[in-house]
Amino acid sequence: MKKIIALLGAVLVLATSARAVEVAAPSALLMEKETGTVLFAKNEHTKLEPASVTKVMTILLTMEAIDSGQLSYDTVVTASAHACSMGGSQIWLKENEQMTVSDMLKAVCVVSANDCAVALAEQIAGSEDAFVERMNQRAKELGMNDTTFKNATGLPAQGHVTSAYDIALMSRELILHHPDIRQYTTIWMDSLRNGASELVNTNKLIRFFDGATGLKTGSTDSALYCLSGTAERDGMELIAVIMKDATSAQRFEDAKTLLSYGFSTYSLEHVTPQEALPPVTVHLGTQATVQPVLEEGSALLLEKARAGNLEQSVSLMEAVEAPVARGTLLGTLTITSGEETVAELPLVAGEEIPRITFGQMLLRVLQTAFLAG
């Protein structure tokens, strides 16, 4: 509920500026990572081929496998004949060649290695087909309703499509919950195989855009030039998705346009109460009061002109009756800018307060009588 109210406030504040920028790409989107707010959209649900931007999902599932303990960065992966048969971008794995998950992730993130992407997919799911099933299941979980994956690489396949909006969703999931991926996506130049294989990032933003953090390029003859470009400045990270641009250079220019617009226009404000919140009385509880708190993640995305003029007001209930569950609504923290309400953030119980039992109540009465005597 808190997030819904906060986002509604953000939408009200952002609505006047959402069309203040233009790009050449036929489909594009700009999203802020923390709140998921869309700052710019152009044909964002058009189903198009994503080329190697597909690998954002492959990378996401790999990072989730690492987090779950299924894999580690040091896990050794053996390349299959199928993985080595991939065309397009690759590091020319040989059948039965062994490489760590870390090095394969580096190859996928930096040079978009199709052979490594498939090798990781097979390591995780047993086969690329089984991995693709997981990709599509994860896409559904993330609300990627425009997406159908046919492979783990983004190589041309009939019906392999997604949208700028869906790419932003999976990109956000990756960078929000797996920030360690930056150790690979921010590499400009590196090497593998003890220096024998040189790597240069396909994402030119990493070298030429201040604050760039990733994420993934893609291009084929039919998909043309695609990009999910991420960058962070002043604690705010943005995701710029470009699809079907005419040239490689244009996709980077379009991404720079969107990212620069976002950073110049908006500010991410992390809200905390300016004064200590007073406890709320609890009737018939095991303790007399409960402490209201503002839940974590109370970030507001605002136009910079409004961000420097914020005021707060607190409204709390006088009392609640036990039992009180953690997260029970106790009041509202209202954020205003001038005469405008920016957001109304719920203040909730920071702890659980059970209802007092008859025996506990009797003991409390006896203790009070004894102390009074």
* Tokens describing residue 189: 């130049």
Q: How confident is the model at residue 308 (pLDDT cuts 50, 70, 90)?
A: confident
Give mean pLDDT, residues 31-42: 97
What pLDDT, on the 0 to 100 scale, is given for residue 20? 73
* Catalytic-residue membership of 112: yes
230-257 pLDDT, tens per residue?
999 999 999 999 999 999 999 999 999 9
Name the more confident of 358 and 130. 130
Identify the architecture of domain 2-266 in CATH.
Answer: 3-Layer(aba) Sandwich (3.40)
> Of residues 55, 150, 216, 256, which has the active-site annotation?
55
User: Does position 99 have pLDDT exceeding 90, yes or no?
Assistant: yes
Q: How confident is the model at residue 11 (pLDDT cuts 50, 70, 90)?
A: very low
> Of residues 89, 112, 219, 337, which has the active-site annotation?
112
Give the residue range(s) of CATH 2.60.410.10 domains in the chain: 280-359
Q: Which residues pair with 30 in a beta bridge?
A: 40, 240
- For residues 176 and 71, is the Cβ–Cβ distance under 8 A? no
Classify burial at 329, counting beta carbons within 10 Å of its beta carbon; exposed 0-12, middle 13-18, buried 19 or more.
middle
206-219 pLDDT, tens per residue?
999 999 999 999 99
User: Does position 31 have pLDDT exceeding 80, yes or no?
Assistant: yes
What pLDDT, on the 0 to 100 scale, is given for residue 357? 85
What is the rounded CA–CA span in Å between residue 273 and residue 80? 56
pTM of the model: 0.86
What pLDDT, on the 0 to 100 scale, is given for residue 362? 72
254-301 pLDDT, tens per residue?
999 999 999 999 999 888 898 999 999 999 999 999 999 997 767 889
What is the rounded CA–CA span in Å between residue 108 and residue 55? 8
Give the residue range(s) of CATH 3.40.710.10 domains in the chain: 2-266
> Of residues 2, 27, 33, 52, which has the active-site annotation?
52
- Residue 353: what residue type? I
User: Does position 142 have pLDDT exceeding 90, yes or no?
Assistant: yes
What pLDDT, on the 0 to 100 scale, is given for residue 372? 64
* Catalytic-residue membership of 52: yes
Query: To the nearest whole number, what is the mean pLDDT of the chain?
Result: 92
Q: Which CATH number fits domain 280-359: 2.60.410.10, 2.40.30.10, 3.30.365.10, 3.40.50.970?
A: 2.60.410.10
Among 141-145, 328-332, 337-341, which stretch is predicted with the lowest mean pLDDT? 337-341
What is the rounded CA–CA span in Å between residue 341 and residue 164? 31
Give mean pLDDT, residues 141-164: 98
Percent of the chain with pLDDT strictly greater than 90: 81
Name the more confident of 3 and 106. 106
